[in-house]
């Protein structure tokens, strides 16, 4: 409802206000972006902007991640990203994480387009569903980002009484050594800070959303249908 109202107000749908776009085409959007009226752009992106980098999306038939998990003998594909299943059986997740761990892929033209918006001073925020960190690799700073489904950039012990933080390099060494990452303080399992099914979205998502969308002159959605119920759209 929030986004529906935002589109209605911004595009003047159903009102007598002046339309911001002279036509609903890519060319019309480009002209608007070059005008003085378009100063603050939000990008909302999903797995589709990373597939050309070699990272599979989650739900495409036959090629998507969920369609290729038979070797992990899961009760159902989504279990590999469910926090309850992970706490009992972390092995499948860490075996899979080795296949798409950050550092093995390069940003795509979409990632560099978002960076270009930043360099031109137009990027208000990039909201990403992705966990591949390619927005950071392309040159966006933490302040530019809302990583709605978390990130591999940091990790924490899953024990609520510990929650010790670990770095990207620490986690990478464990994963590529085929070792289940264990906390050096309490021996609990350490999980990358990506959002699993059963976990809340980051507080930053909610705090930024409330203020950012009221300020935005343009919202660009790329690589997501906005219909996915979890990781990476």
Catalytic site residues? 149
In the block, tokens 């997501």 appear at 224
Q: Pairing state of beta strands 190-194 and 150-157? A: antiparallel
Backbone angles phi, psi at 31, to 5 degrees: -65, -40
Backbone angles phi, psi at 142, to 5 degrees: -50, -35
Rounded to whole angstroms, how far apart are CA atoms 214 and 48?
Answer: 26
Binding residues: 157, 162, 183, 186
Binding residues for Zn(2+): 157, 162, 183, 186
Backbone angles phi, psi at 101, to 5 degrees: -65, 140
Helix axes 2-10, 203-215, angle to 10 degrees: 20
């Amino acid at each position: 409802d929030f986004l529906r109202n935002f589109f209605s107000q911004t595009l003047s749908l159903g009102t007598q206000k002046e339309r911001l776009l002279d036509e609903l085409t890519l060319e019309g959007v480009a002209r608007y972006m070059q005008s003085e009226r378009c100063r603050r752009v939000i990008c909302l992106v999903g797995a589709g902007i990373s597939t050309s980098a070699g990272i599979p999306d989650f739900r495409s038939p036959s090629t998507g991640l969920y369609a290729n998990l038979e070797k992990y003998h899961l009760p159902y594909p989504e279990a590999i990203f469910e926090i309850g299943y992970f706490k009992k059986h972390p092995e499948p997740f860490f075996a899979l994480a080795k296949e798409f761990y950050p550092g093995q892929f390069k940003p795509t033209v979409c990632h560099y387009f978002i960076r270009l918006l930043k360099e031109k001073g137009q990027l208000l925020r990039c909201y990403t569903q992705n966990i591949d960190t390619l927005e950071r690799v392309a040159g966006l700073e933490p302040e530019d980002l809302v990583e709605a489904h978390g990130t591999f950039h940091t990790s924490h012990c899953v024990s609520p009484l510990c929650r010790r933080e670990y770095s990207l390099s620490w986690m990478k060494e464990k994963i590529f050594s085929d070792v289940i990452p264990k906390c050096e303080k309490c021996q609990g399992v350490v999980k990358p800070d990506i959002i699993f099914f059963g976990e809340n979205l980051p507080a930053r998502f909610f705090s930024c959303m409330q203020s950012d969308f009221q300020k935005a002159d343009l919202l660009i959605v790329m690589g997501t249908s906005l219909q996915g119920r979890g990781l990476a759209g």
